[in-house]
Amino acid sequence: MLRAKSTPTREVVSLDGLWKFAVRHEPTAVEDWAKRFDPRAREAAVPASYNDLFADQEIHDHVGWVTYQKTVRIPAGWAAKEVVIRFDAATHEAIVWADGHEVAHHVGGYTPFEAVITDFARPGEEVTITVAVNNQLTLETIPPGEISQRGERRTQTYRHDFFNYAGLTRSVWLCGVPKTRIVDVTVTTRLESGVARIGCDVRLSETAESSAVQMHLRIKDAEGAVVATAGPGADTLSLDAPTLWRPGCGYLYELEATAMSPEGETLDVYSQPFGVRTVEVRGTEFLINGEPFYFTGFGRHEDLPVFGRGHSDAHMVHDFALMTWMGANSFRTSHYPYAEDVLDYADRAGIVVIDESAAVGLNTAMGGGEFGHRDKPTYGPDYVTDATRLAHEQHLRELIARDKNHPSVVLWSVANEPDSCVDGAREYFEPIVALTRELDPTRPVTFAHVALPGAGDDRIADLFDVLCLNRYAGWYFLTGDLAVAEKVLSRDLGTWAKNYRRPIIMTEYGADTVAGLHTAPAQPWSEEYQRDFLETYHRVFDSIPEVVGEQIWNFADFATQVTTHRVDGNRKGMFTRDRKPKSAVADVRRRWLELKNRASSTPTTDPETTAEEQA
């Protein structure tokens, strides 16, 4: 789905700001909420999760529907426009009304959706938008969860280890767009003998005019100079000696598509940024532009005080600045698709992204980040069913449609720590992987593997291109015993490397660390232990050539559900929740800057030669 943006033919109005907000308890008649405007309702900020905005336990813990309402004036000049309202995300289910008329219903808390509201949008007049948002997770949602009743109270349980923040967590836009318009753009790039072939698939809305539309394409370089053009009928453009998008140097071109009527009238213009780069898994190497790439960075969360999971440009800029300062070149969008603003920024910053779906918690042996006792089988009528898989597939469709054009995205992660060693796992994941490859044949596919089953027990890893492993020896087990943990980790990684002959990225490793807690000798929870823990893991990575990346869990401390093993959330951050560095930052920074220097002084393969070899 295209981003909301202004172009010569499109106008956008941001609906971010304060919306009337109410928590709803009525079990029925959701649509009644849209029929009246309640001027006395409290106000909530958008974008933000609503949970931490108020000093109110009931709102923080609410399970079910809330409503947001805003009255907006349609710009007077939009008489000839189609009026579309776009939600960058509503977590997890949303129903939208315009002046009481239902215009959209969407399930999936981290992908965008939009609705045409032209019939209710009179230019120069007001329209009231009501959005009901439901935070419930069920066995038919991704991620899954379960609802139960505790006396009068409805409660939500889920097996993933981050708080179920909800609401209008990303921006909302009112868009005035042409009726005959561009609705989708897919850009693919290929390198052949020093020339980039740019495939452009531009889709139009279906109107009486669209079959006669002529599409004109041109590519502008980063300075805005036109470097390639194509007339109607062409869907491939060429760039001689293109400037490549590289880690650390996010060079972007822009594809400008102009839809024209046969009479030469401009109907719509849309510009899509893209980068020229190759990604390939070859043997045990991960290659970007034909050069071996070693991932350094973090698993992260969209998690902030007050905002919850709400997007904030200021915090995004600051987090990227901290990551770059540390020498990180990558991160994983653990454990859901992040705001599109974040991927746009990563494209420009040259930061590499492992793009993860929201499929987390598909594992009855896990609960809130800890290994529990499996209370029921994962795959079967009581937990992950066909309905869960269908929701997962729909989510992947929306994720890939949204993120396919981002050069920063080099790898899809279809799930975090699913149950991979039991009956039903292979039957579940075979179609999921096949669908991902069909939706995007240009990127490799992975999943993040939980420590529980050993290399010999896993039933799905061979379906994937890259092994992403999450490991906690020395924390959840062998707690405090790093000497033995080192041996166990080394054996574990060695076995995976030998059995699978694929690149390995350590996508999680870390120890909960309370900032300011110091001990001698190093004890779990102290800053000294985090430092020793990471140093131990790094020694092991350096001894196994198949390891092509390390992403520490986590970039910053983050909020979780309340359990007895979390004190004010998960404390495995290298930074506190308010982004103060813990002691280990200095050591890791030294290591990553040194790895970076080493990589930039290594002679590199010519990416064009590699592309030719592939062809």
Active site residues: 417, 508
Distance, in Å, from the CA atom of 348 to the CA atom of 328, rounded to the nearest integer, reads 15
- The CA distance from 290 to 279, in Å, is 7
| Cβ atoms 196, 239 nearer than 8 A | yes
Does 356 sit near ligand GCB (CB under 6 A)?
A: no
**Nearest approach, Cβ of 571 to ligand GCB (angstroms)?**
9
Nearest approach, Cβ of residue 354 and ligand GCB (Å): 13
Output the smallest distance, CB 266 to ligand GCB, in A: 48
- CA atoms within 13 Å, Cβ hemisphere of 374: 14
For ligand GCB, the binding residue among 9, 134, 278, 470 (CB under 6 A) is 470
Report the C-alpha gap between 513 and 529 in whole angstroms.
8
Evaluate the omega torsion of the peptide bond into residue 603 and state whether it is cis, within 30 degrees of 0.
no
Quote the distance between the C-alpha of residue 450 and its chain's center: 19
Check residue 420 for interaction with ligand GCB (CB under 6 A). no
Three-class SS state of 564: coil
Question: What is the nearest approach in angstroms of ligand GCB to the Cβ of residue 508?
Answer: 5
Give the nearer residue to ligand GCB in terms of CB position, either 325 or 477: 477
Q: How far is the CB of 534 from ligand GCB (least distance, A)?
A: 14
Backbone angles phi, psi at 22, to 5 degrees: -145, 140
570 binds ligand GCB (CB under 6 A): yes
Q: Which two tokens stand for residue 234?
A: 């062409």
Residues 488-527, one symbol each (x = binds ligand GCB by CB under 6 A, - = not), give --------------------x-------------------
Q: Which residues contact 556 (CB under 8 A, 6 or more apart)?
A: 300, 301, 303, 319, 573, 574, 575, 576, 577, 579
By CB under 6 A, residue 417 contacts ligand GCB:
yes
- H helices within 11-157, ranges in order? 57-61
Single residue of 93, 114, 161, 291 touching ligand GCB by CB under 6 A: 161
557 contributes a contact to ligand GCB by CB under 6 A: no
Look up residue 193 and give its DSSP letter: T
303 interacts with ligand GCB by CB under 6 A: no
Looking at the Cβ atoms of 82 and 417, the one nearer to ligand GCB is 417
Return the number of the residue (81 or 335) whose C-beta is nearest ligand GCB.
335
The least distance separating ligand GCB from the CB of residue 416, rounded to whole angstroms, comes to 5
Q: Is 607 in the site for ligand GCB (CB under 6 A)?
A: no
Q: How far apart are CA 358 and CA 336, in angstroms?
A: 4
Per-residue binder mask for ligand GCB (CB under 6 A), 368-407, x = binder:
-x--------------------------------------
> Between residue 318 and residue 347, which ones bind ligand GCB under the rule CB under 6 A?
335
Closest to 23 (Cα-Cα) out of 78, 80, 61, 73: 61
Site for ligand GCB contains 357 (CB under 6 A): no
Interface with ligand GCB (CB under 6 A), residue total 10
User: Looking only at residues 272 through 291 of this chain, which bind ligand GCB when binding is defined by CB under 6 A?
Assistant: none
What distances in angstroms separate CA 566 from CA 308, 369, 451, one per listed residue? 17, 10, 20
Return residues touching ligand GCB (CB under 6 A): 161, 335, 369, 416-417, 470, 508, 553, 570, 572
